[in-house]
Amino acid sequence: MCSKLLKEETDKISLIYSPSSSVAAPEQLLLRPYLQSEKNKITRTRRKMVGPGRPQFVLFGSSIVQMGYNVGGWGAIFADLYARKADVALRGYSGWNTRMALQVLDRVFPKDADVQPSLVIPYFGGNDATNPHPSGLGAHVPLLEYVENMKKIILHLKSLSDKTQIICLTSPPVNEAKVREIFRNGLDDQARTNEGCRIYSEALVDLCKELDIEAINLWTAIQQRDEWANACFIDGIHLSAEGSKIVVREILKVLKKVNWEPSLYWLSIPAEFPEDSPYYVVGPDGKTTLNVSSHISTWQMQWLDI
């Protein structure tokens, strides 16, 4: 709403300021300095509305992203690690495939946005890889079309800014027995298979190599864990807390390995407002305060060995 009002005010000023306006020329000349000043104020206000100058990370995908802020979810873990360092935004849409993602791509990631994300982590593929339904309806997308759709998504994200980085996530494996147990009642013919997820995952990895984009093969990474089929999923498809930890660990490995400038690895980004303050808790010496701006919690220490 605020953004809409600001736009309306800017449009009004632009109309009056325009040489083609019905305002008489002498009045235009008198008003120009004031109007330009007001327009500058509105522009500055619009820029301020995006918040502090933190990097913005966007997780974009289907239900595995939408559920990422569940307790123990990978989005929640990621946001916790980057607290006070980066804003982690969730753009998850349960049930979506790459066809649906393309329909909203320009709205989720407008090219004319005042601030563009520093990192986008797209995840699509699990729904695309489901078996086709005889009716032609459903989430299935043929493999070649899936690859082409992902290419369009990646190229759009790359065009947002020179600083926008991308890490693609492939489809994880599935616990087929659990899927059959939970998702019954006529959905069996649309189920995804572990083999189908493998094929779509490898196709995405190959595409990312072609486009020089980082990719994480979750199909492979998750299956390296003992008892993965039961430990890493809540229903055979969606990630448990254990599965989410694997996703975060793989993302952090990439962020630590790559030579991006600036670095987006969580330990490399300074905390916002890191200055010392007399208002922090007083230290053991009784004379100085303890700066906790970069404090690493006991829970976060498990991520230090990446």
pLDDT at position 48 is 47
Contact 90, 123 (CB under 8 A): no
pLDDT at position 181 is 86
Look up the pTM and report it: 0.82
Is 17 found in the same domain as 89?
no
249 found inside a domain: yes
Cα torsion angle, 257, 260, 265, 270, sign: positive
Contact 101, 154 (CB under 8 A): no
Query: Cα(139)–Cα(209) distance, rounded to whole angstroms?
Result: 26
Is 168 found in the same domain as 42?
no
Is 249 found in the same domain as 206?
yes
pLDDT tens, position by position, 125-159 = 999 999 999 899 999 999 999 999 999 999 999 99
pLDDT at position 180 is 85
Domain interval for residue 81: 56-257
Cα torsion angle, 201, 205, 206, 210, sign: positive
pLDDT under 50: residue ranges of the chain? 1-2, 5-6, 13, 16-24, 45-50
pLDDT at position 41 is 57
The number of folded domains in the chain is 2
Is 221 found in the same domain as 185?
yes
Is 111 found in the same domain as 16?
no
Contact 94, 66 (CB under 8 A): yes
Is 105 found in the same domain as 43?
no
User: Would you name the residues annotated as active-site residues?
Assistant: 62, 235, 238
Domain boundary among 257, 276, 292: 257
Is 126 found in the same domain as 253?
yes
Name the H helices within 25-90.
Answer: 25-48, 63-66, 74-81
Q: How far is CA 164 from its chain centroid?
A: 11
Is 144 found in the same domain as 17?
no
pLDDT at position 36 is 65
Is 193 found in the same domain as 61?
yes
Is 93 found in the same domain as 232?
yes
pLDDT at position 270 is 94
